[in-house]
């Protein structure tokens, strides 16, 4: 689905749902077994997009700004050039990285990770959020370059990206490649990089079926491609779709914000808990214990019969 310096635009509005309904529906019409079945599916998915369009609002607000220095005792101070810090943590990506959907900076995922790292290590952590609401993988390099131009180099970076690549219908291989290039850029600048891959659209019940499953399948394929690209570039991928889906499905009213699309404070807290071990491991603070193994969640895909015939449409591009 954080935040300084550039204007932010949210794509979860009526234009997105109209585009998804039109484009996926048109592809279904072109590839279905018969003309009648094709146009029926086109109309069906357009109706699903229209329903989602009336439920999920057009967000124009920004996420809370939590940039600052986080201390082991829980206090936070403003960052200045002469401030003493032990570790510089930066976050890049989209509205989920930004923490859109919550009311205070302390509830955003980056701040929650920064506070946990400071408490767990006793280190003073500078935190900066460079993510942009509405960003896709196409914008990652610009976020990183802007930080490098300012002569800043994070020690550890977290990237959360992928949802808007799905909603923008960006090619899976191209999106994963761009993510890999961003990771390589950060690694080349001396950062340890942890990437939360594309989340699970299946938990967003405001998106009706079968459109929800169409998007879910697309997102899972993107997440798999992202995982390979991140590893190849020297980063650590974290499969958020696998690790978050069960909790979000079981408690969607608690884990999602009022817009029914972005996580709530509780949802972001769960994400921070999941991101913390690989972040600590990346900076040499995890210890000798093995990292938690992710569950095989994405293999169990809810798939209505109406969607079965569309699975071939979502093969990685």
Mean pLDDT of the chain: 81
Instruction: Report, as an integer, the average pLDDT of 124-150.
Output: 95
Distance CA 48, CA 288 (A): 49
pLDDT of 19 above 60 = no
Span of 8-12, 43-47, 286-290 with lowest mean pLDDT: 8-12
pLDDT of 10 above 80 = no
Residues contacting residue 8 through CB under 8 Å, at least 6 positions apart = 62, 95, 98, 132, 133, 134
Q: Which residue has the higher pLDDT, 136 or 9?
A: 136
pLDDT of 28 above 70 = no
Q: Per-residue confidence at 179, pLDDT binned at 50, 70, 90?
A: very high
**Res 211: pLDDT:** 80
Which CATH number fits the domain that encloses residue 222?
3.40.50.1110
Within a domain: residue 9? Answer: no
Within a domain: residue 59? Answer: yes
How do residues 110-121 score in pLDDT, each as one tens digit? 999 999 999 999
**Res 12: pLDDT:** 42
Within a domain: residue 5? Answer: no
Residue numbers annotated as active site: 95, 259, 262
**Res 50: pLDDT:** 63
Using a pLDDT cut of 90, give the percent of the chain over it.
50
For 78-105, letters b (16+ CB in 10 Å) and e give ebeeeeebbbbbbbbbbbbbbbbbbeeb
Q: Per-residue confidence at 45, pLDDT binned at 50, 70, 90?
A: low
pLDDT of 11 above 90 = no
Q: Which residue has the higher pLDDT, 297 or 239?
A: 239
Q: How many domains does the chain contain in total?
A: 1
CA 192, 195, 196 angle in degrees (round to 5)? 150
**Res 252: pLDDT:** 77
Within a domain: residue 155? Answer: yes
Within a domain: residue 256? Answer: yes
How do residues 63-105 score in pLDDT, each as one tens digit? 889 999 999 999 999 999 999 999 999 999 999 999 988 989 9
The pTM assigned to this predicted structure is 0.80
Within a domain: residue 125? Answer: yes
pLDDT of 3 above 50 = no
- Joined together, the tokens standing for residue 304 give 């209505």
**Res 2: pLDDT:** 37
Within a domain: residue 167? Answer: yes
How do residues 271-304 score in pLDDT, each as one tens digit? 999 999 999 999 999 988 888 776 555 543 444 4
Three-state DSSP at 52 gives helix
Q: Which residue has the higher pLDDT, 60 or 110?
A: 110
pLDDT of 137 above 60 = yes
Residue 122, domain extent: 14-314
Three-state DSSP at 75 gives coil
Q: For the chain, where are the E strands, in sequence order?
A: 68-70, 76-77, 87-93, 125-129, 156-160, 192-196, 236-238
Q: Per-residue confidence at 141, pLDDT binned at 50, 70, 90?
A: very high
């Amino acid at each position: 689905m954080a935040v300084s310096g550039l204007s932010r635009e949210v794509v979860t509005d009526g234009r997105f749902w109209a585009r998804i309904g039109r484009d996926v529906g048109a592809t279904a019409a072109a590839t279905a077994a018969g003309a009648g079945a094709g146009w029926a599916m086109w109309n069906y998915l357009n109706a699903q997009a229209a329903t989602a369009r009336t439920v999920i609002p057009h967000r124009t607000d920004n996420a809370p700004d939590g940039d600052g220095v986080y201390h082991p005792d829980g206090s936070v101070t403003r960052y200045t050039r002469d401030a003493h810090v032990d570790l510089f943590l930066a976050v890049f990506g989209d509205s989920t990285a930004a923490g859109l959907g919550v009311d205070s900076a302390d509830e955003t995922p980056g701040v929650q990770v920064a506070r946990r790292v400071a408490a767990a290590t006793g280190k003073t952590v500078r935190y900066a959020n460079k993510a942009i609401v509405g960003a896709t993988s196409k914008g990652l390099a610009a976020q990183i370059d802007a930080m490098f131009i300012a002569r800043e180099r994070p020690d550890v970076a977290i990237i959360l990206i992928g949802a808007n690549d799905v909603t923008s219908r960006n090619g899976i291989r191209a999106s994963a490649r761009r993510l890999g290039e961003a990771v390589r850029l950060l690694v080349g600048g001396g950062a340890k990089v942890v990437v939360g891959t594309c989340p699970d659209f299946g938990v967003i019940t405001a998106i009706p079926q079968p459109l929800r499953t169409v998007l879910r399948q697309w997102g899972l394929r993107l997440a798999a491609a992202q995982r390979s690209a991140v590893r190849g570039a020297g980063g650590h991928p974290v499969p958020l779709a696998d690790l978050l889906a069960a909790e979000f499905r079981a408690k969607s009213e608690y884990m999602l914000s009022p817009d029914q699309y972005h996580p709530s404070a509780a949802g972001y807290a769960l994400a921070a808990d999941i991101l913390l071990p690989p972040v600590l491991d990346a900076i040499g603070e995890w210890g000798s214990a093995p990292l938690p193994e992710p569950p095989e969640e994405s293999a169990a895909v809810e798939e209505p019969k109406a969607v079965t015939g569309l699975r071939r449409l979502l093969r990685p591009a």
